[in-house]
Structure 1
Amino acid sequence: MKTLLNALLVAVAVMAPVTATVTPARADVVCDDWCQGAWAQQRANALPRTAFYDPPSPLRRAPAGTLIRQQPATGYTVPAGARVTRLLYHSRTAGGRDVAASAVVLVPSGTSPHGGWPVVVDAHGTSGMARDCAPSLMRDLYHGDQMARFLDRGYAVVAPDYAGLGTDGAHALGDKTAAADDVVYALQAARRAVPGLSRSWVLWGHSQGGAAALAVAERQVRHPVDGYRGAVVTSPAASLDKIAEHAATGPGLGAFIALIAAGAHVSDPGIDPRRLLTAEAVSRLETTRTGCLGVVSAVFGDLTGPDLVRPGYLTDPRFARFLETNSTGAQRVAGPVLLLQGQADTVIPAWMTDEVAETLRRSGSAVDYRTYPGLEHDTYPGQTVGIDDGAMPDILAWVANRFGHGIDAGSTAADANSASGPRRRSAG
């Protein structure tokens, strides 16, 4: 089950109308109850950000994937006996600049098996843009419930934060090249830091992380990293122009267009959010510097359409170029890929992923596309089940098959929380 911390807040943003004016947490403005509740949940789930996350200054250039430091870490909600190691490592921006990034490595209890623990690399969904929005600074690790399912089956998990989350600098949210670098180099740093990892690895990415996973799979075609066995991609934020339009017009989704605009500015400083967002939306952007997704969802939840974005924002030349350049799913990817989508998803509608699957098929990519009736983007406790939880039996079976554990990847174990099993559509 997706963590209550952010999932419930996003559920409210997506499913319930906003009746109160929500304002950013500035000194001259008081948050409403929803905003204050979001801050309280963020603080309750937070771990202290220590000097571990501060890279050396200046950061002397080193090969990407080089380990800067590591430390054993506690305070997380993980299965009994699991061990967690924090990493600080060298990654790269899209422009090739050396940058520090953080990650965690989780290994199951006991000693590693012969050949090492198979590795699942987790590319996480949108958590925010502030330093404290790093999953490694959250007690539940953001996707920790799903990570536990992998640990229970004897797999290690490598979970990068993305540069600018945890570390200093700024997070280039939406920049597919930077995200792919962070993921690949986290794996390389993990191999240097933690003994007992197998050479075999599978990538798993959800939402923003689903786009990152597709970017890594694109990269594998040109610059393969050994041991790759395929990728599980759930509800990917692949077509950024379509997602930006959907977020700008969908009730309660304003946080996502605000984060995309802010991330685009980090990637290309020539992109000015003031040309994309209304003055009221721009006045609330300061919240993205400290608040994570739940907080930002509360702050932007009452803005949509012309109250949120300026006319013609999608045709701003630099912003349009950013959206096109950083969209995924249009190029051939290294496979196999298990692409999963909930048909009840209100954040990434199923039609978007249908188009991604068809485009990948035409590119010659090996994609097993499955859709699931009744599954949402994330699990919203007491309301709906998300794709990662509802499809987890199929994810585990497919991953086991990729690691050669003899489980039939074609079998579909309908989840108890799902009305029915998936509709399977092979592409390629």
Structure 2
Amino acid sequence: MNRRLSFSASVAALVTSFWLATAYSGLPPIESVEDAVKFESSLFIPTGKFWDRPTGVPGAPGQLIRSEPAENYRIPHGASATRLLYWSNDLYERPTVASAVLIKPAGTAPKGGFPLVVWAHGTMGVGQMCGASNSVDVGYNVMPLLTQGFAVLAVDYAGLATEGGHGYMNKIVNATDVINAVPAAQKAVTGVTRRWVAIGHSQGGQAVWGVAEQQASLRDPHYLAAVALAPAVGGAALIESNANQPGALFYPVYIARAIKQQFPNFDIDTILTPEAAARYDDLVNKGCYFYAQAAFAQVKPGSVLKKDWTSQPYVSDFFAINQVGNKSSSGPLLVAIGKTDAATPPAVIESQAEKACAAGNSLVLRSYPGDHVEMLQTSLADVTAWIKDRFAGKVVTGACTY
């Protein structure tokens, strides 16, 4: 059967912000990788010299490399955007280069600056071309946060926009990039608070959960809290579910890429079927989220992973390193669930939240109407109010609340 990818649904899944989904809904569906390439060429700014790794001795994590005002983003009139490049670390504490964009709302900043939220996006792709800072819409969900009066620091994660390869779904690396973006941004731009809150969705939800865990030892006095929206924290069970779900069949290939990035000796052919492995290079090098959906439009659910994939070398190591909920974290953590979310099922997230509660962490778990994408809209008012309470110094009562 020829499975047509609904253009409006696909855009909603990535771009998310309600007005953008509506704006794109009148366009024809993406039916081929050629259509996807054409559409993504309108979404992404080609990477250029700004994102190049500097020569010489690497700087300390969080050190600003360079910044520049950016005018090629679709942001509200009067808002300002600053693109920045900074030093970060990989899993083995080797220097990496990461990038981000800081957007300030229009108007005069309040006393002390606009409250700073650090946005960690969900899956946009795994190739260098798929960063938020080289996306004309700065990825997705940035504008709704901006309209709430926040300055939004949208993080790419190293290897998106920059060279070196993206550590997809690597909790420690992605969280490190989020944390190191903050001092770099505050060096580059004035008019934002030193205090900050991390907020992320899906892959980014896992990342900011990792931020909360790292802060247990880092203890940044300016870090206030984290918000994990529909976090992708299900490990192997989540990927198994994706492998049998139309529209999500490319995620196992992305995970194969993630394991390979973390463990170079890993062989993708040990877990991917020949049909899925044949698309591996294209998914990494030729496109982003929409390309991946189009590339797997004709693939049968259940035909991308080998039956014994979880027993292969490095697989269990990858998921063990990237598990959440089994460590102490710092500050309050709001975990938000979409009640009808099939991509990150509520039961999976609840299980991880229970582990975090058992470890004595301060966690608030709330459910909202909608699926993986819709919950971003239905949770927005409540989530932003919760964040503003943290900036106001209000205390979250109870070690773990549901």
Q: Same fold (TM over 0.5)?
A: yes
In 1, the alpha carbon distance for the partners of 2:210 and 2:13 equals 28
Quick check: 1:178 aligned with 2:184? no
In 2, the alpha carbon distance for the partners of 1:299 and 1:60 equals 41
Quick check: 1:113 aligned with 2:110? yes
Counterpart in 2 of 1:337?
Answer: 333
The secondary structure found in structure 2 opposite 1:334 is: coil
In 1, the alpha carbon distance for the partners of 2:85 and 2:391 equals 28
2:229 to 230, 234, 238: 234
Counterpart in 2 of 1:403?
Answer: 391
2:11 to 1, 7, 11: 7
1:44 to 42, 45, 49: 42
Counterpart in 2 of 1:358?
Answer: 354
User: Any idea what the Cα deviations from partners look like across 1:6-63, whole Å, max 9, x if unmatched?
Assistant: 535779xxxxxxxxxxxxxxxxxxxx93322222221111223221111124x52211
TM-superposed CA distance for 1:266, in Å, is: 0.7
Q: Are the counterparts in 2 of residues 333 and 365 from structure 1 also a CA contact under 8 Å?
A: yes
In 1, the alpha carbon distance for the partners of 2:92 and 2:70 equals 32
Question: What pairs with 1:182-331 in structure 2 (closer than 5 Å)?
Answer: 182-288=177-283, 289-304=285-300, 306-331=302-327
Q: How many residues align?
A: 380
TM-superposed CA distance for 1:130, in Å, is: 1.0
* 129-138 or 324-333, which deviates more: 324-333
The secondary structure found in structure 2 opposite 1:400 is: helix
TM-superposed CA distance for 1:355, in Å, is: 0.9
Quick check: 1:77 aligned with 2:56? no
User: Any idea what the Cα deviations from partners look like across 1:247-277, whole Å, max 9, x if unmatched?
Assistant: 1222331111110110110111122111110
In 2, the alpha carbon distance for the partners of 1:52 and 1:199 equals 26
In 1, the alpha carbon distance for the partners of 2:377 and 2:396 equals 17
The secondary structure found in structure 1 opposite 2:250 is: helix
Distance 1:122 1:317, change over 3 A: same
In 2, the alpha carbon distance for the partners of 1:253 and 1:427 equals 32
Counterpart in 2 of 1:416?
Answer: none
The secondary structure found in structure 2 opposite 1:111 is: coil
Q: Are the counterparts in 2 of residues 252 and 304 from structure 1 also a CA contact under 8 Å?
A: no
In 2, the alpha carbon distance for the partners of 1:349 and 1:39 equals 30
Q: Are the counterparts in 1 of residues 31 and 294 from structure 2 also a CA contact under 8 Å?
A: no
Identity among equivalent positions (%) equals: 33
* 319-328 or 210-219, which deviates more: 319-328
Counterpart in 2 of 1:421?
Answer: none
List runs of 5+ in structure 2 lacking aligned partners.
1-6, 16-29
User: Any idea what the Cα deviations from partners look like across 1:50-82, whole Å, max 9, x if unmatched?
Assistant: 21111124x522111111111100121212111
* 106-115 or 338-347, which deviates more: 106-115
Distance 1:10 1:201, change over 3 A: closer
The secondary structure found in structure 2 opposite 1:136 is: coil
* 46-55 or 65-74, which deviates more: 46-55
TM-superposed CA distance for 1:306, in Å, is: 5.0
Say what the alpha-carbon RMSD is for the aligned residues.
2.3
1:63 to 35, 60, 63: 60
- TM-score of the pair, normalised by structure 1: 0.84
Distance 1:5 1:191, change over 3 A: farther
1:137 to 128, 134, 138: 134
Distance 1:8 1:336, change over 3 A: closer
Distance 1:118 1:148, change over 3 A: same
Question: What pairs with 1:413-424 in structure 2 (closer than 5 Å)?
Answer: none
List runs of 5+ in structure 1 lacking aligned partners.
12-31, 379-385, 411-424
In 1, the alpha carbon distance for the partners of 2:364 and 2:236 equals 25
TM-superposed CA distance for 1:239, in Å, is: 2.6
* 39-48 or 257-266, which deviates more: 39-48
Q: Are the counterparts in 1 of residues 230 and 337 from structure 2 also a CA contact under 8 Å?
A: yes
Counterpart in 2 of 1:18?
Answer: none
TM-superposed CA distance for 1:140, in Å, is: 1.2
* 231-240 or 206-215, which deviates more: 231-240
Q: Are the counterparts in 2 of residues 131 and 290 from structure 1 also a CA contact under 8 Å?
A: no
Give the residue type in structure 2 aligned to 1:311. Answer: K
- TM-score of the pair, normalised by structure 2: 0.89
The secondary structure found in structure 2 opposite 1:122 is: strand
In 1, the alpha carbon distance for the partners of 2:346 and 2:298 equals 24
Give the residue type in structure 2 aligned to 1:33. Answer: E
The secondary structure found in structure 2 opposite 1:78 is: coil
Question: What pairs with 1:160-179 in structure 2 (closer than 5 Å)?
Answer: 160-179=155-174
* 46-55 or 257-266, which deviates more: 46-55
